[in-house]
Amino acid sequence: MTRCTPNQLAARLGSGLLSFPVTHFREDLGFDEARYREHINWLASFEAAGLFAAGGTGEFFSLTPSEVERVVAAAVSEAPAELPVVAPAGYGTGMAVEMARSAERTGADGVLLFPPYLTECDRRGLATHVRTVCAATELGVVVYNRANGVLDDVTLAELAEQCPNLVGFKDGVGNVDAMTRIRARIGDRLTYVGGLPTAEMFALPYAELGVTTYSSAMFNFVPRYALDFYEAVRNRDAETVHENIRNFVLPYCELRDRRRGYAVSIVKAGMKAVGRPAGPVRPPLVDLDAGELDSLTRLIEG
What stretches of 165-260 show up as alpha helix (H) in DSSP? 176-186, 203-207, 223-234, 238-244, 250-256
Spatial distance between the Cα atoms of 116 and 34, rounded to a whole number of angstroms: 31
> How would residue 120 be classed by pLDDT, with cut points 50, 70 and 90?
confident
Task: Look at residue 2 in the predicted model and tell me its pLDDT.
Answer: 59
Q: What does the mean pLDDT of the chain come to? A: 97
What's phi and psi for 200, nearest 5 deg? -55, -30
Relative to beta strand 50-52, strand 213-216 is unpaired
Q: CB of 214 within 8 A of CB of 194?
A: yes
3-state secondary structure of 162: helix
DSSP state of 187: G
pLDDT tens digits, one per residue of 36-81: 999 999 999 999 999 999 999 999 999 999 999 999 999 999 999 9
Find the largest Cα–Cα distance for the chain: 51
CA 115, 226, 258, 239 torsion: positive or negative?
Answer: positive
Q: CB of 136 within 8 A of CB of 172?
A: no
Spatial distance between the Cα atoms of 252 and 249, rounded to a whole number of angstroms: 5
Per-residue pLDDT at 1 exceeds 70: no
3-state secondary structure of 237: coil
Q: Exposed, middle or buried by CB within 10 Å (0-12, 13-18, 19+), for 59? A: buried
pLDDT tens digits, one per residue of 181-229: 999 999 999 999 999 999 999 999 999 999 999 999 999 999 999 999 9
